[in-house]
Every structure is written in C-alpha cells, then in structure tokens.
Structure 1
Amino acid sequence: MTRQTVHGNGTDGGGTGRGGTATPERWREREDEDSLFRQLRLTVRQGMEVDGTTPAGAWEALTQVGAWEFALPIEKDGLDLGQAVLAMVCEEAGNAMQPVPLPDTLLALDLISGLGPVGSDTADGLLDRVRTGELPLAVPGRLPDPRGTLPPGITWKPDGDTGGIVLTGTGGPFAAGVGAGALLVLAGGPDGPCVALVELPAADVLVRPLRDHGGGAVSGAVFDGTRLPAGAVLLRGLAAERALARVGLRAAVHQASLLAGITAAALTAVVSRIRGRQQFGQALVKHQGPRLRVAGLLARLDAVRWAVGDAARDLDEGRLTPGEAAGLIALTAETTLDVTRDAVHLHGASGLVRDALVAGCYRRAAWEALRCGRPAQLWDTAAHTP
C-alpha cells in the first residue's frame, strides 16, 4: 500500500504554515504534554516519517529510537519509561499505518521480562535479540482481554512423552509486514492457560498469509498437533493466569493507542481530501454538511486520545481496573470502526481504491479493532467488572 503524509494545511507533503514550517494537526497534539514528552513524541514521529515508509523501515525506526528499551524494566537494562510513553509509541506507529506487530512484541517483552530467575538465561537471550530488531514477536489471534482471559482458538495438552505440550488450533489475523521471528502462543488447556514461544520456521506450524485488502500484510497460524519441548513453555497454569491478568491491562491500552493512531491517519487523509476536492465551484470544506461531519469525527478522536492518555497514566500509578480498560478498548474500537467507515464515505469513489490510505485504514481497522474482543462483549465486561 502507499503511504501518504499530510501536513496541517491539508496538502500532501510540503505543506507549510507561517515561516515555512509545517503546522501540526490539532488532533495529534495534547496540550498537557510536557516539553520532554513532546520532544520524545517528535523523535518517534520523525523516525517513522523519515525511515518508516515500509514495514521493515518502520521496524528499524522503532529499534533505532529505542522503543524496546522504553518497555523494559531497569533490572533488564531497560529505561522503564512507563505506559504513557509506550502508548504514545503505539499511537505514532498506528498513524504511520505500517503493519508491524508492535503491541504483540510489547506484550511478549512484558511477559518475558517478568519470568524471574527461573527463565533468566533464556529471557536475557530473547530480550537481547528483540533489542537489536532481530526477533519480531507476533501473537497469533486475539490478545488477552483486560481481565487476562484468553479467547478460544488454540488449545494445549500435556505431552506425556517429552514433558512438553501439544498445540492444536488456528490463530489470526496478526500483522505480518515484518516476518515474525517467533510466535508467542497463548493457549487454553485442561490446567488453565499456557504461554509458549515457537521459533520460526517450525515443524507442524503453518504461517498462512491472509488476503491483503489494502491494510497491509496479514497472516494467520495453524497448529496441527504441534509438539513443543518443555523449554519452549514460558508459563502455564496459575503463573500464566497471574501474568496474563497483568499484561491484559497493558495490552488493552497499547491496542487502544494503536487504534487511535489509525483513526488519526484516516482523518488526516479526510481533511486533506475535503480541502482539495471541489464541488459546486468551491472546496468541499466550505460546505456545512461535510465540515460539521468532519468536526464531529475529530471531536470523537480527541475524546479517545484523552481517554487513552488518562488510562496510561492510571496504569502507571496502579489505578486502572479491568472494567475501565475494557470500556476504553470498546470505546476506541467503536470509534475507529465508525470514523474509518465515514472517512471512506467522505472520500467518495476514491475511498474504495485498494491502495488509498483511507481504504487501508478502514480494512486494517476491521480486524485490529477486534483483537482484544468484540466491542459488545467488552462493554458487558466493563459493566460487570469492577
């Protein structure tokens, strides 16, 4: 798919404001961000805009700015900058519209760095490989919901012969613009959940490309009696339940941030379109109907971005509850689906072109918005979970 950069004056590239500098879009800035955070955001954004014009370039840009160190605790030689910073990175990556498994890798880093002394040697080697950009980690299928509950799809059972496990089932879709070096498999079984790491390529694991409708490369994974040794199993049973409950909250915030970025990308394209498209002898933006409609979409995005930022700070301070996280991802998913659909409509026939940015946003949102669960189910969780 093609990538489109739209500046604050609504032109494609090269747009300038006063003094010849690009005017930032209002809906991509937050007034409460301090100068250091804003500079960090600018660094990530520039890296994605300059080098992130392809999935491989976007992955390299994230590695170069140190995104993986942002996520790791101090004791793992990371920077531990907090969830607000990680949410910002996810938002900027979503806005770049490159199909890289960023929330998946952040979830994997969270789980691996929390293994403790038992998995220290294995964990340190994996973390070093992720730091260098060598090991993109993808989660086939849905992410855990804010309570840490796993969706059906992949099951495991003990392998009595080797002491390992046997995986069966199908997981997908997941972003595959950068080929995953390993899959972090979240499976349910007779003794509770299980978290396993499958290095690729692997016997009896089929990574199957799914149809790309313009939103970027997507794949699914099929496990047909896949046998994994005991060393590939990171967590199982009660330990896995506790770890997934912790990372489920973070995955919800990261995925919500990614969706907010995709929404911003769609609206950037819409603003450019209505400013440049002529109807009845004047720009479409001069007509009250489209203008008010876009203003409403921008207001919804603003509300989502504030909600995500507040949730990230609450998560840093240990105040975010599973019910609140479920409501956040439900709100963000619904907003992304609504905004990208309306963006296609406001573009007219050009919004249906496969390689158009707004069509890519719409098609990618169709599956990214469901990775933590369906909005209706999440609203129910929010209503019945403290």
Structure 2
Amino acid sequence: MDLTPSERQTLTEQTFAALFDSELVTDLRRMGQRDLGAGFEASADDASADAREAVWQTLCELGALRLTPELTPGSGLADQVVLARHIGGALYQSPWADTATAVDIATAAGRTDIVARLADGEAAAVAVRAEAVDEPDRPGPVDVTTEPGRARAVRRFVAFAPDVRWLLLAGTGTGTGTGGETMLLLVPAEHDGISWHRHDDMGRGDFYQVDFDGVPLADAVDLGGPDAGAVWAEALLRSRIRHAAYLMGMAGAALEETSAYMRTRRQFGRSLASQQAPAFRMADAATEREATRLLVEEAAWLADTDRDARLAALQALACAAELARRAATDAVQLHGAVGMTEEHDAQLFYRRAAVDSLLLGRPTELRRLAAPLLARACA
C-alpha cells in the first residue's frame, strides 16, 4: 500500500516512539558517558556497553538505516529527520548519523552490497577532520604513496571508532598522482594500520583521534570515483539536515525538562512557571524551536524532491545549533544551582550542546557558506 509522505512520517514516528519512551530516555541520556577527566583510555562499563549495543540492534531491526528510497520505497530524508529528532531528545550516543552518511555515499557509488551491510547494522564512523578546528567542507589531507599504494592520515573527533565495523576516510589526496582530489575510502576499522585514542571532551562522549598509518589502498573500498567531491558535498548536505533535526530534538527535550521543573519550583510564594519573566523566556525559546522545525522540514523536503537544498540545510543547521545552546543555557539558569549538579539533566544538555552544536560546522562558518547562496536567491 502506497503511503503519502505525511502518513509515512507518522508511521516512522510510531515505529520509534516506543524505543524512545520517556521512561527509557532517562537511562539513554547517561548511557556510556565517562567522567570528565577520565583520560584517553576510559571506556564505558560493561553493563552500559551491553545496553547501548542492545539499543543499537533494536534500532537496526526497526529499520533505522533503511529510511531511503532505495531500501524502503517512499521513504526519505523527511523520515530520517523524525528519527533524528527522537535521538536528539534522548541524547542517545550512537553511530547512526555517521552510518546513514555512509549509506548515502555507498548508494551514490552504486555499491548495493555495502549499502546492504550497513543497513543491517555494520556501523560506520566518518573520519574527516585533520585538526579540531577544521570544517567538514574541506576534508583533511590524505598522504598517498605509490609502489604499493598506501594512505596515511590523522583524523580527530571521530565518533565510536572502537565500536564500528567501518571507518569512512574522507580526505584530499596530497601524494603522488592524486592531484588534490577528494577521496572517500571505506576501511575496516580493525585494520592493522589503524590505531586510536579517546578525546576527553566536555560532553563525556565517544570521540577519538584515529591514525591511518600506511593503510594499503587495496584493503579499502573506494566509494568516491571521479565525482567524489560532488558525492561528499551531497552527503554532507544530508548529514547537516539530519544533525539539525538532532539538535532540534535536543533543544525540545531541554525545554520540556525545564518547563516541568518550573512548574514545581516555587519562588516568592508561587511556581516559577507562573511568573512572567521566566515564562516569556520559555515562550520565546519555544517559538524559535517551531521556526527551526519548519526550516529543518523544508530542507528535508527540498532534498527529497531533488531541489537545491544547500541554503536551507545551512540555515537549518545554523539555527538549530544556536537553539540547542540557548535551550541548554536556559535549562541550567532556570534550574538554578541544582541544574549544575549530577542530580538533574540540565548540565548534561549544556555539555552536550557545547560539543554537538559544532560537529558539522560552526554557525559563523555555516553563515559564511550560506551568504553567497542567499545573495543569489535574493537577486
């Protein structure tokens, strides 16, 4: 039976709503986090690792990586946006977003065999930044040697490197015969030429520095080809729309948590929610969230209908990043001192927003990229 886009999104909502139930979300938000200062070798405890693997397997069984027209006719980025919003609200750390990017790239390369393996749960992590301050629009260098062909590169802030089956190395070739071309290499994560250590980040997450030390090109799957630059640009655009939805979900959950707390916290003899100044502050943030939702959904619709979604994707991510940070800041401030303790999730939203809002481009860089597109649209 053919479904309309609205009916399909409703079905997607219903499919994943049970997994991200309000009672389960409380545990998901803290699943696998490490104490700040735990060091490079810190790992999640066994119980947390097992639980996170179980949630990942459930996601895959529900079809989280099959929300593309090639795998599920009629589905598309709009459905992925629904799922990303749920994941953001739960602050659930997983390789879903990077694996979805790998699915996009493998689909563009015509590698249906790789797409099938990824869709069945062989997770991937995207490795693109050579330095922490690099922007994903300009993949870091990959030094390619000949006789025999080998690739050397360093990548920072790679998510879940020890937990995935594949590493997608996105880079700009700098060695013999590469001509500065974009490269998209899918490498087995357990390859002998790969090593990593964990970044001790503010969000207590799963980010790693990964060293590709002379990985033979023969051991990698080339997903780029002559149009690798265009393939990466399109995959990044779709990644940004998904990430904007994730940040929107994060902001929405932070606002809901804060609203619930304000109804119980009393100041000057009445609840904080009934007082004009904080209530207006929350109303303003809720309005901004609604505007961001419309931007994200428009960007997904444009991409799904093969229209130019570049400007909408950049605008959606810039707005979602600022919204996530603002909602997290409001959460901490309106909770008061208790919001900075482990007792409440306000501090968790704040720490995660500080890191996650920058993953696919700083807001200033996103606006720089959007400026010429906006000028052209207004001409």
Which range moves more in the overlay, 319-328 or 288-297?
Answer: 319-328
Contact 1:169 1:222 survives alignment (8 Å): yes
- The 5-angstrom pairing of residues 252-331 of structure 1 reads 252-331=240-319
Matched, 1:64 2:61: yes
Letter in 2 for 1:140: A
Letter in 1 for 2:78: A
Letter in 2 for 1:97: L
Letter in 1 for 2:141: T
**1:57–1:244 distance in 2 versus 1, CA, 3 Å:** same
Write the distance in 1 (CA, Å) between the matches of 2:201 and 2:155.
19
Structure 1 residue 380 displacement after superposition: 1.3
Contact 2:85 2:245 survives alignment (8 Å): yes
Write the distance in 2 (CA, Å) between the matches of 1:296 and 1:33.
30
**1:151–1:318 distance in 2 versus 1, CA, 3 Å:** same
Partner in structure 1 of residue 146 of structure 2? 160
Partner in structure 1 of residue 115 of structure 2? 127
Contact 1:140 1:221 survives alignment (8 Å): no
Structure 1 residue 86 displacement after superposition: 0.9
Say which SS state the counterpart of residue 19 (structure 2) adopts. helix
Write the distance in 1 (CA, Å) between the matches of 2:266 and 2:80.
40
Write the distance in 2 (CA, Å) between the matches of 1:220 and 1:161.
30
Q: Which has the higher contact order (CA 8 A, sep 6+)?
A: 1
Partner in structure 2 of residue 182 of structure 1? 166
TM-score (norm 2): 0.81
Contact 2:247 2:320 survives alignment (8 Å): yes
Contact 2:184 2:228 survives alignment (8 Å): yes
Write the distance in 1 (CA, Å) between the matches of 2:245 and 2:204.
18
Contact 1:323 1:384 survives alignment (8 Å): no
Partner in structure 2 of residue 90 of structure 1? 84
TM-score (norm 1): 0.79
Letter in 2 for 1:65: L
Write the distance in 2 (CA, Å) between the matches of 1:284 and 1:265.
19
**1:80–1:110 distance in 2 versus 1, CA, 3 Å:** farther
- The 5-angstrom pairing of residues 137-216 of structure 1 reads 137-141=124-128, 150-151=137-138, 154-163=140-149, 165-174=150-159, 179-190=163-174, 191-211=180-200, 213=202, 215=203
RMSD of aligned Cα (Å): 2.7
Write the distance in 2 (CA, Å) between the matches of 1:344 and 1:33.
37
Structure 1 residue 90 displacement after superposition: 0.8
In the alignment, structure 2 segments of 5+ residues that lack a partner are: 32-51, 175-179
In the alignment, structure 1 segments of 5+ residues that lack a partner are: 1-31
**1:62–1:310 distance in 2 versus 1, CA, 3 Å:** same
Structure 1 residue 216 displacement after superposition: 5.1
